[in-house]
Structure 1
């Protein structure tokens, strides 16, 4: 077999345009020495998928989007050491390579792990990107441990990353978790994930001071635009902020007076630069799978679409673009 089905994008079109995502036929990817070839059975759509689609230049060649995926290893490269044909796996891919919205995907073994045995492929596909992002923010950027205490403020707590971050923080650290939400359904979801307190991010400064009068120790920011002065007010001296967004003209000077540390988190950094610790993503996904199978971490899928096609993925993109998603949307092969 030399070709495969996939869903491609040729231009930055509105998601309601039927040409925004199209069913295409493309070559089966060639494996690099450390690659595994995965038969993709389920994918999850994330805000990064929407952002990348919206930024595409017009092209006659399709761009295959998609990061989160779960499936079965069909073939391994000559240098693969940790996985075998037939393994059921999950992963979040590499932003520099063709994505998971395809029948097959080639992925470096160092960012792929065996999926939780207790989860279906659809349930597993909801977890990798958000789990890696949350894990790296908590343990690599904030440096939290089981002995860590203090207040962790998670903005957009009902979103994909927030949902996992709350669970990991409660399972693996001693911090108190404060989530933000603006609707009853998202606030209830954050509490289900384990948040100790939930406040309204539209009234962030006042409500944060009420629940944490001595100041926030750690703050996770997926939406930093217009919030820096508020962060400077509510974070305690020598506190830490980790951001995953990239707003233009970001001015961090208000943080200087309190010596507040600002960290960036991009889960694609390891794979983009093939860092010496690249296999750390496999290790953390393996640990996350163990937590899932032990009942300490739960899938965050809230909507499943049984239509692995351009039409099904347009539905998923539309849900993410709505800004009202609670948890994650997954597209799976029927």
Structure 2
């Protein structure tokens, strides 16, 4: 099969930053699926891993951490899928990725695709929707249908995770304030359902005070931006007993007294924890993807897809990496095969 991978950490403008190569079609174990890939999304983690190799490697590493595919082989211990099924899925960080024609998939990290959207729209969903789902409902422990009007601040609402987090928070019944720094990103987060928008390039407390006569106090904050420059502001904005979850990059130095005085809690979210450590609740990702597909088909959620490229080529994946490295991507970019 054809695949595209990375052998050495090079700028994306270097023609050798990604390479095409031929490799054998993988074989699933008894509890796995083999899929023929139809589309995959490109995520920031792809660019980070491409630039994070400590040294050049002989065998290219295939990137790609989610996608959509048609099941072509079913392990004998798998009962919920059959050949011909269309599934969307998350990939483990330690297995060959979706930048290829075929891929082995763990059914605990997959579900049948939503029926009301295109395969490309479905391919934009797994990594970002699962990250948002776990951050909101597991790390922040937000009730699925809040009876009281609680509030959440989502920092960087225009990316893929932010787009899904805004929508999921609205499903949970929260009042959502999201941050965006440009006119086009502001319009995007409003289209995702944000009740108000602030600029994360400004002081967050000042921005929130402009929303009304009284300063906001948030029950929850989801950081997708990096707390380096806003940590003190976030602590001030959190209500007593509030919860903060960060998915963003950057260094974070925490003074426990900041949290003790308000009885705040801090958590971190990585969508790859369950598969990397083989936790007993890995199947929760299948359950979440199943629920997300239902919400999509019920028109309660929409795909964050904004850009599509066609063809499994080095040039297309390089173009996708280049777009993400501008750090101005709105929504998600998908490559169709």
TM-score normalized by structure 2? 0.94
Query: Could you tell me which residue of structure 2 aligns to residue 118 of structure 1?
Result: 116
Select which of 223, 227, 232 maps to 2:230.
227
Select which of 27, 34, 37 maps to 2:34.
37
Matched, 1:105 2:107: no
How far residue 107 of structure 1 moved from its aligned partner, in angstroms, is 1.3
Matched, 1:53 2:57: no
Name the stretch that deviates more: 139-148 or 189-198: 139-148
Query: Could you tell me which residue of structure 2 aligns to residue 129 of structure 1?
Result: 127
Q: Deviations over 1:20-56 (max 9, x none)?
A: 1111112222322211011111111111111111101
CA contact (8 A) 1:156 1:179 kept: yes
Instruction: Provide the rounded CA distance (Å) in 1 between the counterparts of 2:160 and 2:167.
Output: 11
Q: In the TM superposition, what are the counterparts of 1:182-261 in structure 2 within 5 Å?
A: 182-203=181-202, 204-211=204-211, 213-222=215-224, 223-248=226-251, 250-253=253-256, 254-261=258-265
Instruction: Provide the rounded CA distance (Å) in 1 between the counterparts of 2:252 and 2:323.
Output: 29
Select which of 79, 82, 85 maps to 2:80.
82
Instruction: Provide the rounded CA distance (Å) in 2 between the counterparts of 1:30 and 1:255.
Output: 49
CA contact (8 A) 2:308 2:335 kept: yes
Q: Secondary structure at the match of 2:157?
A: coil
Instruction: Provide the rounded CA distance (Å) in 2 between the counterparts of 1:210 and 1:257.
Output: 26
Q: Deviations over 1:64-115 (max 9, x none)?
A: 0001201101111121122111110101211111111111111111101001
Gapped runs of 5+ residues in structure 2?
Answer: none
Instruction: Provide the rounded CA distance (Å) in 1 between the counterparts of 2:252 and 2:283.
Output: 34
Q: Secondary structure at the match of 2:23?
A: strand
Q: In the TM superposition, what are the counterparts of 1:229-308 in structure 2 within 5 Å?
A: 229-248=232-251, 250-253=253-256, 254-308=258-312
CA contact (8 A) 1:228 1:255 kept: no
Instruction: Provide the rounded CA distance (Å) in 2 between the counterparts of 1:36 and 1:226.
Output: 44
Instruction: Provide the rounded CA distance (Å) in 1 between the counterparts of 2:253 and 2:311.
Output: 40
- Tell me the C-alpha RMSD between the 2 structures: 1.4
Query: Could you tell me which residue of structure 2 aligns to residue 156 of structure 1?
Result: 156
CA contact (8 A) 2:227 2:252 kept: no
Select which of 2, 7, 32 maps to 2:4.
7
Q: Deviations over 1:171-222 (max 9, x none)?
A: 2x12100010000000000000000000111122211244372411100112
Query: Could you tell me which residue of structure 2 aligns to residue 323 of structure 1?
Result: 327
Name the stretch that deviates more: 192-201 or 27-36: 27-36
Q: How many residues end up aligned between the 2 structures?
A: 329
Query: Could you tell me which residue of structure 2 aligns to residue 96 of structure 1?
Result: 94
CA contact (8 A) 2:205 2:215 kept: no
CA contact (8 A) 1:209 1:215 kept: no
TM-score normalized by structure 1? 0.95
Query: Could you tell me which residue of structure 2 aligns to residue 143 of structure 1?
Result: 141
CA contact (8 A) 2:34 2:74 kept: yes
